[in-house]
């Protein structure tokens, strides 16, 4: 496999990108079993049969693409400011970076979206492994260097983290299923994200004096 990939990476960058994008689009459109390598060859503008000079099989090509998508997602965490210790500011920053990466690599995320619903037995176990890795490593990296002193003392931290994780994962899944293509994703998604963060922050953060005053003032106005 290393030899095959070495041949692929020895190609000119433009040709590599054409093959990768054509493959991502075809698998995203038609799924693993119905995807046509002939369509990939035509879209990538390469000679017939040359695809298998670089990949021994359709399965090997698909697994290569899964690995490629993981590397694309890793680019998100390279750009994060790890000095930001507020968890909700951190998550918002990750959201902004994700939007930029989604726009830059829409075919990669369309492929990943299709992979989440893939049932082909040839690749299902590998998809599950990658999905588990992306979720666990993403959450673990997202919580790196967080200031836990901002959270209320009367809350079980582990249960609170589960609630935040459930919210993040459910929201991400909902947004993924709503968009036809990641080329269409917009800043409105982040605005809705902010609304959830605001609710979570009010539930879990210690109240500052100004927050208490604001709540008291609001209560007085309602009583009047």
Please state the domain extents for the chain: 2-210
User: For residue 49, how many other CB atoms are within 10 A of its CB?
Assistant: 10
List, in order, residues 6 or more apart from 152 with CB less than 8 Å away: 204, 205, 206
List, in order, residues 6 or more apart from 106 with CB less than 8 Å away: 181, 182, 183
pLDDT, position 182: 66
Longest dimension (CA), the chain: 79
**Helix H segments across 121-208?**
121-142, 157-178, 188-204
Closest CA to 123 of 81, 167, 73, 69: 69
- The Cα–Cα gap between 161 and 73 comes to 22
- The Cα–Cα gap between 98 and 90 comes to 12
pLDDT, position 183: 64
For the domain covering 2-210, report its CATH number. 1.10.357.10
Count of residues for the chain? 224
pLDDT in tens for each of the 224 residues of the chain?
A: 444 477 888 899 999 999 999 999 999 999 999 999 999 999 999 987 789 888 989 999 999 999 999 999 988 888 888 999 999 999 888 888 888 888 888 899 889 989 988 999 999 999 999 988 888 888 788 888 899 999 999 989 889 889 988 888 888 778 777 766 666 666 677 778 888 889 999 999 987 655 544 444 444 444 44
Contact 51, 40 (CB under 8 A): yes
pLDDT, position 211: 52
What global pTM score does this model have? 0.78
């Amino acid at each position: 496999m290393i030899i095959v990939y070495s041949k692929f990476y020895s190609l000119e960058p433009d040709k590599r990108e054409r093959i990768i994008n054509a493959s991502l689009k075809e698998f995203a459109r038609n799924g693993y079993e119905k995807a046509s390598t002939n369509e990939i060859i035509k879209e990538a503008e390469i000679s017939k049969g040359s695809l298998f000079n670089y990949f021994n099989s359709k399965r090997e090509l698909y697994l290569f693409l899964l690995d490629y998508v993981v590397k694309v997602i890793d680019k998100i965490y390279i750009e994060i400011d790890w000095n930001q210790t507020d968890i909700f500011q951190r998550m918002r920053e990750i959201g902004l970076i994700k939007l930029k990466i989604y726009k830059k690599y829409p075919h990669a995320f369309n492929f990943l979206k299709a992979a989440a619903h893939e049932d082909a037995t040839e690749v299902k176990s590998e998809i599950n492994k990658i999905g588990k890795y992306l979720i666990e490593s993403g959450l673990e990296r997202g919580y790196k260097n967080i200031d836990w002193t901002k959270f209320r003392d009367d809350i079980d931290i582990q249960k609170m983290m589960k609630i935040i994780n459930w919210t993040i994962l459910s929201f991400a899944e909902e947004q993924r299923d709503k968009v036809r293509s990641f080329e269409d994703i917009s800043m409105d998604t982040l605005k809705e994200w902010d609304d959830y963060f605001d609710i979570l922050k009010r539930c879990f953060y210690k109240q500052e004096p100004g927050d208490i005053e604001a709540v008291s003032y609001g209560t007085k106005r309602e009583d009047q």
